[in-house]
Amino acid sequence: MNANAADFGSSALSAFLRAAGLVALAVGAALALVFAFAAAVVVGLMVAGAALVMRFWPRRQEAAGFAGVLEARRTPSGWVVETAAKRKS
């Protein structure tokens, strides 16, 4: 087989299209990484802002007469759970 000008141009065009496709793929991957990084920064700022707001937000008041601690003791008939304010022993 003899190589002619049409075959040479065809392989050069094919090589150029492969190189252009590779460049387009690399550019697309770079853009995807940039957008992913930007999205991660936005989410990180949202989480940091929420943590900051929760740090300075006023705490909820405890219910009157209930400290939130329960006392439990075992009796012959089973376990008895009492609040700290109710315990009389």
* Residue range 36-89, pLDDT digits in tens: 999 999 999 999 999 999 999 888 776 555 556 778 888 998 888 876 555 455
Q: Residue 80: its pLDDT value, please?
A: 87
Domain boundaries, the chain: 5-83
The full DSSP string for 18-67 is: HHHHHHHHHHHHHHHHHHHHHHHHHHHHHHHHHHHHHHHSPPPPPPTT--
What whole-number distance in Å separates Cα of residue 65 and Cα of residue 3?
98
| C-alpha dist (Å) from residue 8 to 13, 16, 17, 25 | 9, 12, 14, 26
* Residue range 9-33, pLDDT digits in tens: 678 888 889 999 999 999 999 999 9
Q: Residue 68: its pLDDT value, please?
A: 66
| C-alpha dist (Å) from residue 76 to 20, 23, 33, 80, 82 | 84, 80, 66, 10, 16
